[in-house]
Chains A and B, each alone.
Chain A
Amino acid sequence: KQEVTQIPAALSVPEGENLVLNCSFTDSAIYNLQWFRQDPGKGLTSLLLIQSSQREQTSGRLNASLDKSSGRSTLYIAASQPGDSATYLCAVLNSGGYQKVTFGIGTKLQVIP
C-alpha cells in the first residue's frame, strides 16, 4: 500500500528565505505527483503537477522536482513571502491497474514578516 510522507510537519522561516519542502513515497508505480496548498478553512489549490516521466516543473517562484526511482519529490519556494503561509500537500496518483490517489499529511509553513 502506498504511503506518502512529508517532512517537516511544520516550518517557520523569515520572509525572503528560500526553502525546500520534502515529499517521499514508498511505491514508485505512479502516474504523477501533484503539489497543493491549503489555506486554513479552505479547499486545495493546485500548484504543480509532475508526470512520472518528468524530472521537474516550474511556476513562478515554485519549482518541483521528482525522482521516481528513489520515491522523492521536493518543492522549492524562492524568496518566500508572508502570503506563502499555508499547508502544502503532495499527492501521488498510483498506477498498477487502478487510479487511487494518496496524500501526504502536509507541511505547515509560516513565513514571518
Chain B
Amino acid sequence: EAQVTQNPRYLITVTGKKLTVTCSQNMNHEYMSWYRQDPGLGLRQIYYSMNVEVTDKGDVPEGYKVSRKEKRNFPLILESPSPNQTSLYFCASSLTGTSNEQFFGPGTRLTVL
C-alpha cells in the first residue's frame, strides 16, 4: 500500500532532550516536507527536500534540523526541544515538487514539558 509513515505517533518529552521523528514513504517520491499544525495558525512548513541531499527552509525552521540521505526517509530532528515546539507534526511527500499532489502521513503529536 502506498503510504507515508511517521513514528512515533505520540511523544511526551522534556525540555532539552534531543529527539527524532521519522518519516518514510514507499512511493519513490522526490519531494518531502515537514509541517507543524497549531490552533489558529494552521499548517506551517518547517523544511522541505526536493531530492536526496537537497533540503531547504520553510517558514518556521528555527529549532529544527532535517536530513535526506535516502530518497524514502526524511527525519525531523529537534536538538533541544522547548515547550513552544509542542505541536502536531505532519510529514508529506509528492512525486515531484511542482506538479503532483502531496500525500500526508498520519501525524505525530509532540508534547514538550
Contacts and interface: CB of A to CB of B under 8 A. Distances in A.
Interface of A: 1, 31-32, 34, 36, 42-46, 49, 51, 89, 91, 93, 95, 98-106
Interface residues of B, number: 27
B90 A44 contact: yes
B105 A43 contact: yes
A93 B97 contact: yes
A84 B23 CA distance: 29
A79 B42 CA distance: 28
B106 A102 contact: no
Contact of A99 (B40, B48, B103): B48
Contacts of A100: 45, 48, 56, 58-59
29 contacts: A31-B97, A34-B102, A36-B104, A42-B106, A43-B106, A43-B107, A45-B104, A46-B103, A46-B104, A49-B100, A49-B101, A89-B42, A91-B43, A91-B102, A93-B97, A95-B98, A99-B48, A99-B50, A99-B97, A100-B45, A100-B48, A100-B58, A100-B59, A101-B45, A101-B58, A101-B102, A103-B35, A105-B40, A105-B42
